[in-house]
Amino acid sequence: MVEHLAASNDVTITLPRVGERIPTVVVDDAHVIYRVHKGAGGGTTPVAALRRLVKRTSAPNIQEVHAVKGVTFTAYRGEAIGLIGSNGSGKSTILRAIAGLLPVNRGAVYTQGQPSLLGVNAALLNDLSGERNVTLGCLAMGMHPDDVARMTPEIIEFSGINERGDFASLPMRTYSSGMAARLRFSIAAAKKHDVLLIDEALATGDKGFRKRSEQRVRELRESAGTVFLVSHQLSSVRDTCERTIWLESGLIRMDGPTDEVIRAYEAFSNKK
């Protein structure tokens, strides 16, 4: 946005407003409803299935879960936002909606560029070596092959998987879950993302790695990205995010500075 400012000398210049914040994610009254298959139940006879096909009604063994019930917020460039809340409060769902992986049923989610979701499930090819997975992951993020070749050693170094022997050349199925998660995080963090969504990915590393990754999240923020962090570890939210959104049953309960929100959240969960 550009504001016309009358400067003290008589020249009118056009300047971006000081401290003007550029939104990267705009969530406008988002509702997410997803369907859960309950498995075989009543009405699974072929005749019933055919009738459903003809009448275009959904199967009776599918239950709808209203996971996000009208969430509105705006995230700005350079922000790191923590998402906290009890299990099933819709934190991961809203992340997947921002990433464009789950459709919103009502409302809208607008994003700048393509947000990348970094979750613990981000499996690469387990039969291949860690090094090869780094190459593949970087190419999948759209990096140029020359950049990939240049950055591969850095990424492996950052992940620290080679601290106990040459694990980078071993297949990923031989890795411990912590090592695999570290490698995945290192790959995703190698690229500058406009919006990076982290779902519990920092919880798996050891202390040294956690320190490095928090440092990396800070760098990513400085390079004009926005970071979302879903975590049950309040300490990692406190260390990386200055703003926190507290979700409860699909609604925003509180949105504000991390310290305040976490204090309220702790009071809430201790009372329960």
Shortest CA distance to 24 belongs to which of 224, 198, 199? 224
Q: Is 176 left (phi over 0), alpha (psi -120 to 50) or beta?
A: beta
Does position 44 interact with other proteins (CB under 8 A)? The reply is: no
Q: Cα–Cα distance between 196 and 220 in angstroms, integer?
A: 9
- 123 binds other proteins, rule: CB under 8 A: yes
Nearest of 253, 257, 263 to residue 86 by alpha carbon? 253
Residue number with CB closer to other proteins (80 or 117): 117
Q: Are 111 and 100 in contact (CB under 8 A)?
A: yes
Please name the residues in contact with 19: beta carbons below 8 A apart, sequence gap of 6 or more: none
- Binding string, residues 197-236; x marks residues near other proteins by CB under 8 A: ----------------------------------------
Q: Is 248 in the site for other proteins (CB under 8 A)?
A: no
Check residue 196 for interaction with other proteins (CB under 8 A). Answer: no
CB 48 within 8 A of CB 130: no
Q: Closest CB to other proteins among 114 and 235? A: 114
132 binds other proteins (CB under 8 A): yes
For residue 150, what are the β-bridge partners?
A: none
* CB nearer to other proteins: pick between 2 and 11: 2
Q: Would you give the binding string for other proteins spanning residues 55-84, x where CB under 8 A is met?
A: ---------------x-x-x----------
Closest separation in Å from C-beta 133 to other proteins: 8
